[in-house]
């Protein structure tokens, strides 16, 4: 991948674009932070990287939500899109574009894509009848429906057995995409790329579905039923299906269709990874590759699917309303605390239940008790000066120092952890597992705390013995190295807190890239960098508001 990088293809990561039918919640922030971490990781390694997020504004669902508020759809979209933008900004998401499907260049990209499909003879017109879910914006085959009853009104209705959302019978004339023509190519692609969908277990469902359920896809709606969307080129009586419109956003960002022949990759396409929730796997792993194959465009390299945040075991959802407002949560707990909690506890394979109690526990134990405590021990001790420790210990002749066996073993043990840490973290990132990666970093901090407890440098410096002093400096230096390396590796996760950590340690801002995260590579630090507006007394992980006994309303929106 390094060679493609230098040839000019930036790394390119996307989130889903979010429906603007309601305000954002923690689940949306989770997708954003995952993408942001992957992008920042590439930057840390010196690679150019692009990240895209944005809003999905067309379709029946949004049209109805606007009507409910008696607003013009565009005015309604402007308002909610602003909230998602605010979320991206507040969560420190380093996106290169916030796309809206109402953007002019996107509309042109969608129209162009439609022409290409038509040119290939893959669009035909026919009568369509089936069960449509407005909430999911898709048709379901009879086999995937169940009869449900509204607990309040007693009304009996048909619903998707997967999402439990209501469906309605629809008969209309519309355009179809001859997706069945792509069946063999899709199955070949899956066979040749068995690791395409991450985690792997979700790939099986995809293959199974294509083998057993693939049919042609209805890709337009009569304007009587949907007018809020992009018109079918040359047929003003039809609106393009919102999912076709939405998926193409990933190409719009990459500059499609205004590409210089031979240099198409410059805009980032093909995407390195689409990050999506497990609820939209079929759209991204069946419809999307089918559409791309149809017009001979390269497919995204990976689809990273994540599980859901639940609230008391139930999926958090805009329609149900059991949501945590991320802006409120960040305000209360801090931006990086939230990013940490989401990344550490969130599930790629399995759902995770959101809980403020757990958040507070993790904060205290891992951030305050881990990194905060360690950095405090290293820098605020009245017993030593970190700069002096680093300078002395890094040039120490160890053959002159006598180490007890337990201390010797403890040093070797921690050294081995730190020698491996950068590459272990990098491998997890390569496998799109930032959860496993951050857990390794946290474990290194835990090991470092245990190391300091066992070597007890604070006791050694008091004995006035020269050898004891050397041993103390030696072990403090190793602990400082651990924090320097962890601080560098944490930057993609906790951009502000990791920067502060490295400032407190006095690590030169020019020495904070992935290649600097090597044991004993840097001996120039130790003098704290005090940035404007802060003082040395500011703790890295201060007590949470919860600890201060201030009354706050429940965190629900
Ligand atoms: O599906 N836990 O938009 P959407 C974790 N517009 N993540 C969650 C979540 C939860 N409880 N709820 C939502 C759409 N998400 C389409 C996508 S893409 C071309 C079009 C996240 O507003 C998750 O990433 O319903 C999910 O896939 C996305 O929000 C869906 O957001």
Average predicted confidence (pLDDT) for the chain: 94
Residue pLDDT, tens place only, 271-301: 999 999 999 999 999 999 999 999 999 999 9
With a cut of 90, say whether residue 221 has pLDDT above it.
Answer: yes
Verify whether ligand 1 is closer than 6 Å to residue 28 (CB atom): yes
ipTM: 0.99
* Geometric angle at alpha carbon 341, from 554 and 494, rounded to 5°: 120
What is the rounded average pLDDT of the residues 176-203?
97
Say if CB 172 and CB 127 are below 8 A apart.
Answer: yes
pLDDT more than 90, % of the chain: 89
As a whole-number percent, the residues of the chain with pLDDT over 70 amount to 96
- With a 6 Å cutoff on the Cβ, whether 309 touches ligand 1 is yes
- Is pLDDT of 3 > 60? no
Q: How confident is the model at residue 490 (pLDDT cuts 50, 70, 90)?
A: very high
Checking if the pLDDT of 545 tops 80, the result is no
Altogether, the residues listed in the chain come to a count of 557
Query: Ligand 1, closest atom to CA 20?
Result: 22
For strands 273-277 and 309-311, give the pairing. unpaired
**Distance separating alpha carbons of residues 345 and 340, to the nearest angstrom:** 8
pLDDT at 551: 46
**Residue 124 Cα to ligand 1 middle (Å):** 30
Distance 472 CA to ligand 1 centre (A): 52
- From the centroid of its chain, how far is CA 546? 27
Distance CA 399, CA 280 (A): 61
What counts of helices (H) and strands (E) characterise the chain?
Answer: 21, 18
How many angstroms does the Cα of residue 479 sit away from the middle of ligand 1? 41
Euclidean distance between the first and final Cα of the chain, in Å? 43
pLDDT band, residue 233 (cuts 50/70/90)? very high
Q: Note the pLDDT tens digit of each residue in 141-184.
A: 999 999 999 888 999 999 999 999 999 999 999 999 999 999 99
* Cα distance between residue 206 and residue 286, in whole Å: 7
d(CA 421, CA 556): 38
Tell which wins on pLDDT, 248 or 5. Answer: 248
Q: Report the pLDDT value the prediction gives residue 349, as an integer from 0 to 100.
A: 95
Q: Is the CB of 276 under 6 A from ligand 1?
A: yes
| pLDDT at position 541 over 70 | yes
Distance 219 CA to ligand 1 centre (A): 21
* pLDDT greater than 70 at residue 260: yes
381-413 pLDDT tens trace: 789 999 999 999 999 999 999 999 999 999 999
Q: Is 247 in the pocket of ligand 1 (CB under 6 A)?
A: yes
Interatomic CA distance for residues 462 and 445, integer angstroms: 25
Question: In a 3-state reduction of DSSP, which class is residue 456?
Answer: coil
Query: 189 pLDDT band (50/70/90 cuts)?
Result: very high
Instruction: Tell which one of 77, 277, 283, 326 to mutate to probe ligand 1, the residue whose CB is within 8 A of the most ligand atoms.
Output: 277
Q: How does residue 380 score in pLDDT terms, banded at 50, 70 and 90?
A: confident
Residue nearest to atom 16 of ligand 1 (CA): 18
Q: In this structure, is the dihedral angle defined by the CA atoms of residues 394, 397, 403 and 408, taken in order, positive or negative?
A: positive
Distance 11 CA to ligand 1 centre (A): 23
Residue located nearest, by CA, to atom 30 of ligand 1: 18
Model confidence at 556, in pLDDT bands (50, 70, 90)? Answer: very low
Residue 6 is predicted with a pLDDT of 43
Which residue CA neighbors atom 28 of ligand 1 most closely?
A: 277
Distance CA 201, CA 147 (A): 28
Who wins on pLDDT, 186 or 314?
186
Confidence of residue 547 (pLDDT cuts 50, 70, 90): low
pLDDT at 59: 96
From the list 508, 392, 439, 429, the residue with the least C-alpha distance to 198 is 429
- What is the pLDDT at residue 537? 62
Is the confidence at residue 356, as pLDDT, over 50? yes
Mark out the alpha helices in 175-325 (DSSP H runs).
183-192, 201-213, 242-247, 249-253, 281-282, 288-294
Q: Which of 310-314, 317-321, 420-424 has the lowest mean pLDDT?
A: 317-321
Confidence of residue 492 (pLDDT cuts 50, 70, 90): very high
How far is the C-alpha of 424 from the C-alpha of 43, rounded, in Å? 18
Establish whether residue 288 lines the binding site of ligand 1, counting it when its CB lies within 6 angstroms of any ligand atom.
no
Q: What is the pLDDT of residue 27?
A: 95
Residue 467, helix vs strand vs coil:
helix
The tens digit of pLDDT for each residue in 39-98 reads 999 999 999 999 999 999 999 999 999 999 999 999 999 999 999 999 999 999 999 999
**pLDDT tier at 536, thresholds 50, 70, 90:** low
Question: d(Cα 316, Cα 323) in Å, to the nearest integer?
Answer: 5
Q: Whose CA is nearest to atom 19 of ligand 1?
A: 247
- Give residue-wise pLDDT tens across range 440-480: 999 999 999 999 999 999 999 999 999 999 999 999 999 99
The string of pLDDT tens digits covering residues 104-126 is: 999 999 999 999 999 999 999 99
Tell me if 61 CB under 6 Å of ligand 1: no
In this prediction, residues 364-392 reach a mean pLDDT of 94
- Residue nearest ligand 1's atom 8 by CA: 27
| Ligand 1 touching residue 354 (CB < 6 A) | no
**∠ at Cα 285 (282, 287), nearest 5°?**
70
Q: In the predicted model, what is the mean pLDDT of residues 409-426?
A: 98
Position 553 confidence tier, pLDDT thresholds 50, 70, 90: very low
């Amino acid at each position: 991948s390094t060679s493609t990088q230098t040839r000019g293809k930036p790394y390119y990561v996307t989130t889903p674009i979010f429906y603007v039918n309601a305000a954002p919640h923690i689940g949306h922030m989770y997708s954003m932070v995952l993408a942001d971490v992957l992008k920042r990781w590439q930057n840390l390694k010196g690679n150019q990287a692009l990240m895209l997020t944005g809003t999905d504004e067309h379709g029946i669902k949004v049209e109805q939500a606007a009507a409910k508020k008696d607003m013009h759809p565009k005015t309604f979209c402007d308002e909610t899109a602003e909230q998602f933008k605010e979320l991206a900004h507040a969560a420190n998401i380093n996106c290169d574009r916030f796309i809206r499907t109402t953007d002019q260049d996107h509309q042109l990209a969608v129209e162009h894509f439609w022409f290409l499909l038509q040119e290939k003879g893959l669009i035909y017109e026919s009568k369509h009848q089936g069960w449509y879910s407005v909430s999911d914006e898709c048709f379901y085959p009879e086999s995937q429906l169940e009869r449900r009853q509204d607990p309040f009104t007693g009304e009996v209705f048909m619903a998707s057995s997967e999402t439990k959302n209501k469906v309605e019978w629809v008969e209309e004339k519309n355009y179809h995409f001859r997706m069945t023509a792509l069946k063999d190519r899709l199955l070949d692609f899956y066979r040749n790329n068995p690791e395409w969908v991450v985690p792997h277990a979700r790939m099986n469902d995809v293959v199974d579905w294509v083998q057993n359920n693939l049919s042609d896809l209805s890709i337009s709606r009569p304007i009587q039923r949907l007018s809020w969307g992009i018109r079918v080129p040359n047929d003003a009586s039809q609106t393009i299906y919102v999912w076709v419109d939405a998926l193409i956003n990933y190409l719009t960002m990459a500059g499609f269709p205004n590409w210089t022949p031979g240099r198409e990759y410059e805009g980032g396409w093909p995407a390195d990874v689409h990050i999506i929730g497990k609820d939209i796997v079929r759209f991204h792993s069946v419809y999307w590759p089918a559409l791309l194959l149809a017009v001979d465009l390269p497919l995204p390299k990976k689809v990273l699917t994540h599980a859901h945040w639940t609230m008391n075991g139930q999926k958090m959802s805009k329609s149900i309303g059991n949501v945590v407002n991320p802006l409120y949560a960040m305000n209360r707990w801090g931006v990086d605390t939230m990013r940490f909690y989401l990344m550490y506890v969130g599930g790629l394979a399995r759902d995770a239940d959101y809980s403020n109690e757990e958040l507070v526990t993790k904060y205290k134990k891992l951030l305050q008790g881990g990194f905060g405590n360690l950095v405090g021990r290293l820098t605020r001790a009245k017993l030593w000066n970190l700069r002096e420790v680093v300078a002395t210990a890094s040039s120490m002749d160890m053959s002159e120092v006598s180490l007890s066996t337990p201390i010797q073993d403890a040093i070797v043990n921690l050294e081995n952890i730190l020698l491996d840490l950068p590459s272990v973290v990098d491998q997890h990132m390569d496998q799109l597992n930032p959860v496993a990666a951050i857990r390794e970093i946290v474990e290194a901090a835990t090991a470092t705390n245990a190391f300091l407890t066992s070597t007890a440098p604070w006791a050694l410096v008091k004995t006035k013995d020269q050898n004891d002093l050397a041993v103390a400096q030696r072990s403090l230096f190793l602990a400082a190295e651990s924090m320097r390396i962890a601080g560098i590796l944490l930057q993609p996760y906790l951009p502000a807190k990791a920067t502060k950590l490295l400032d407190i340690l006095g690590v030169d801002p020019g020495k904070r890239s992935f290649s600097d995260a090597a044991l004993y590579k840097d001996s120039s630090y130790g003098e704290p960098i005090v940035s404007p507006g802060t003082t040395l007394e500011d703790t890295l992980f201060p007590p949470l508001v919860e600890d201060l006994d201030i009354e706050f309303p429940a965190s629900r929106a």
